[in-house]
Structures are given as structure tokens and as C-alpha cells.
Amino acid sequence: MGSVSEEPLQHQLNKPPGIRFVEYIRAAPLSFRTYQSVVLILTFLAYSSYHAARKITSVVKSTLDPDSEVGQRFSVWTRPSRTAPFSRVLASGWAPFDGSDGASLLGDLDVAFLLVYSIGMYCSGQLGDRLNLRIFLTVGMAGTGLFTSLFGVAYWANIHVYVYFLAVQMLAGLFQSTGWPSVVAVVGNWFGKSKRGLIMGIWNAHTSVGNITGSLIGSAMLSYGWGWSFVVPGLLIAFLGLVVLLLLPVSPESVGADRDEDDLSSLKKSTDEVTETLLASGSEVKQQAVGFIEAWKIPGVAPFALCLFFSKLVAYTFLYWLPFYISQTAIDGQYLSSEAAGNLSTLFDVGGVIGGILAGHISDKLDARAITAATFMYCAIPALFFYRSYGYISLPINIVLMFITGMFVNGPYALITTAVSADLGTHSSLKGSSRALATVTAIIDGTGSVGAAIGPFLTGYISEDSWSAVFTMLMAAALVAGLLLTRLVVAEVAAKIEESRARGASRLIVEV
């Protein structure tokens, strides 16, 4: 490869300014592997910061609403004896969330955020396939940082108007919707299908790392005033948005990067599949972005999108309510502070990291995304039951059961939103179109985000009567999520049986 100055002018202009500067210092272009590393690291940090900002509300819930009737009922219900007195010393809270309807108001904030997020996701997918993803992602991160910080500003400005908090959360949700379609599209551009499950399973740890970071930052800042719990993550994501603007390469073609042999082999396999489809249909290759309705018709998109609806309903109920749940639950007869509860809840996300990696690796080995996702969802049902029934006995038991629950709840969620979305966004039925990654990702995750909005919303109301009903709802959602993949699971099982028979016939022919 020639020197930097010998590269086509268009490639030089498309490269992020930070990359151009590094290559100027090195006097040579970056290798394909180096670009891949930059992409993985930057998108990992970017989406970690999205989730860190998103997690804060759940950490601060018990500070804004420490003495709600919901919290009292929750604590009494989780004791070994339902008649045990509620003796915890309660704090004053923050109006308008410190009244008897505080938990419901907080639940309404969650659902407003997530509904706007899910609607915005559909729009972001279409925009992401048509705009420069680096610029689009930067704007989303800057906006997220601004409105996350404005929620915290209410602490110093002494704002107690509910409409303010509602408006800020809705705008934050709109900007948050830019993140996922953008990062999945960028990673999908740089990595082939052969090891996508494992690579994206490890990469998807950003979700849990972001949740953990948000929990730790939010909990640590509470002692200085809950406003800092929002402002610090807001500043963090805005800063990382600037880093993305300076360094993120969107695709190999945009920067003139030469693919290595492994990637070319994977690309050739995908190209061959597309070529077969083109020869069969007699169609020409289309390079324009895929329409919203057309993307829904891609085989597998609708079942996985609906599965994710119920999967995220479960996952986001834990995301938004787990710290509150822990702080209001007597574990071995003792109550944890809001800070300690926020820190303990990170173990659910640690389990989620392991679950995402396992789901990705297993689906690669089996070449069976639907079987893997459905199996994890079915395993989540007993995990939820045992956490609900025995988590209060002791801290070690709570930790182990929380870890296992996080593994099975977040495993399929991680698999569907990463490898499955990338696979379907480059499906052979697209007949060569390379502009569907963001749209397909947005459809799947946007549909899932509607479930993510409904779960926390229902929890805010159902928990007022019975937390047993909340866990029943979560187990039912996990069951439905698994059942929605039944047709795809049957198809994958049939394909495996056919492959096994073909291999057996080949061996028999060779022996004869």
C-alpha cells in the first residue's frame, strides 16, 4: 500500500480528522486490523456511555421516592413473615416524587422515555442508513449528555415541576435512540458473519459495563447530591461524542481500507450467497437504502423483533427497578442503603456480560441463533422464580441468583440486538443492498423498546398490589418470547437434521 499522500483524495476526505492526524504522524495508512480495533473500542465506549446515562434514573429512584407506599409494601412482602413490622428509617425524598404516588410518577417517566426512544429508533434507523454515521452518532451523544445533565440541574435549581422532568426524559429518549442503530451498523460494516456472534457477544458487554458504570457513578455521587448522579454521566457521554467525531471510521470503503484474508474469505462467502440469489432472480444489485416496510419483510425480522419485545420487557424492568427493589427488600433481615443497593445491582449486569458472550459463542458454534435465543429465554423462567422466592434469605444467595438471572435474561437480548440484527441486515433476500443494517437494527430494537417501556410502566402499578404479580408477569413474558421463535427453531432443527443426513450419506458413499 502506498503512502498517505498517494491515497485517493475522496478516501482522505472521508477519514475522521483524528485518523488523518495519526496517519500523518505515522506517514502510513492504518492496517485493516487496526481500524477494526478502533471501531470496536470506540463503539464499545460510546454505547457504554449511553447505558450509563440511562441507568441513573433507577439508581436515584429510592432517593427521590424513599418512603412511598410501594416501597413499604415491597419490603413487608419480601420478609419471611408477612406480618413483620416495617421499621426502616425513611428519608424525605424530592417533590413531586415523595408522595404516595411517587413510584407511579417515576414509572411514568420510564415509560415516557422508552416510548419516545422506541419511536425515535424507527426514525434513527432510516436516517442512519442515509447519513454519515459518525456525525449522526456524535449529535446523538451530545444531545443525550445535555438532557441527562438537565435532569440533574433540577437539584440545584430547586425544580419540583413534574412536567419539567417529563419533558427532559422524553428529549433524552429521543437522542438516546440514535445510538444503537449507529453502532451496530458500524460494527456490521467492519466484521463478517463467521465469528459475528462471539465478537458481538463480547462487544455487547458494553450494555452491562454501561449499566455497571452508571450504577457506580450514580451511587457514588449521591452523597454529594443526586444532581451530580445525572450531570457526571451527561458530561462523560458528551466528551466521548467528541472522541467519536474525531476518530470513528464508518466503513472500510469510506476510508479505503484493504481487507485482510480472513475478512475477505468471510466477505466472499456472503457475496457468493448474494450472487446465487441474484442469479436465481435475474435482478441487479441495489445499493440504495432499504425502505421501512421492505425491511420488515426480510425473513426472520418480525419473529425476532416480537421476541425482543418481551425479552426487553424483562430486561428493562430489572434495569429500572432492580436497585429500588434491593433497597426496599430485607435481605437476611437487613436493609441496604440506596448506594449499596445500586452497587449490588451491578452483579445482574455482570451476569449479563457472561450471558451475552455465551449466547454469541454458542450460536456461532451451532450456527443456530433462534435455538440459542429461545433456550436462554426458557431458562430465564426458573431463574426468575428462584430469585423471587429465595433472594431474600441471605446476601450470598441473592448474589448468586441475581447473577444467574442476569445471564439468562440478558443473553438472548444481547444476541438478538447484535449478531441477529447484523445477520438480518445483510440477508441474502436484500439482493446485494448494503444499506439495511441500521434500518433492520432499528426495527428489531425499536420494537423491543416498546416492550422495554411497558415492563417498567406496568411494574410501577402492579407492584402497589403485589410484587408476586410482577415476577409472574416477567416469567410469562420470557415464556412468550421463547414461543415466538418456535417456527424459526423448528426450521433450524430441520436444517440440522438435513445436514446430519447429508454428512451421513457422504460418508456412506465414500466407504462404498
The amino acid that residue 451 corresponds to is: G
Question: How far apart are alpha carbons 383 and 479 in whole angstroms?
Answer: 12
Instruction: Specify the pLDDT at position 226.
Output: 92
Instruction: Specify the pLDDT at position 263.
Output: 54
Q: Could you give the maximum distance between any two Cα atoms of the chain, in Å?
A: 85
User: Which stretch of DSSP H or E encloses residue 321?
Assistant: helix 301-327
Instruction: Specify the pLDDT at position 326.
Output: 85
Instruction: Specify the pLDDT at position 475.
Output: 96
* Intra-chain end-to-end CA distance of the chain, in Å: 51
Instruction: Specify the pLDDT at position 489.
Output: 92
How big is the chain, counted in residues?
Answer: 512
Q: What is the secondary structure of 197-225 as a DSSP string?
A: HHHHHHHTHHHHHHHHHHHHHHHHHGGG-
For 341, residues 6+ apart whose C-beta sits below 8 A from its C-beta are 62, 323, 324, 326, 327
Q: What is the pLDDT along the chain (512 residues), one digit of tens a residue?
A: 444 444 555 555 678 999 889 888 988 888 889 999 999 999 999 999 999 998 898 888 878 877 543 333 333 333 333 333 333 334 467 888 887 777 778 878 888 888 898 889 888 877 877 888 899 999 999 999 999 999 999 999 999 999 999 999 999 999 999 998 899 889 888 886 666 667 877 887 888 789 889 988 998 998 899 999 999 999 999 999 999 999 999 988 878 777 655 555 544 544 444 334 333 434 444 455 566 777 787 888 889 999 999 999 999 898 778 887 888 778 888 888 877 887 888 889 889 889 988 988 898 888 888 999 999 999 999 999 999 889 889 999 999 999 999 999 998 888 887 778 777 765 555 554 445 667 787 888 888 888 888 888 788 778 777 778 889 999 999 999 999 999 999 998 998 888 888 777 777 676 65
Is there a contact between 370 and 490 (Cβ–Cβ < 8 Å)?
no
Alpha carbon distances (Å) from 81 to 87, 92, 227, 464 = 14, 27, 37, 19
CATH number at 31-74+92-250+284-511: 1.20.1250.20
Find, among 11, 418, 470, 449, the residue nearest to 198 by Cα: 418
Question: How far apart are alpha carbons 477 and 310 in whole angstroms?
Answer: 5
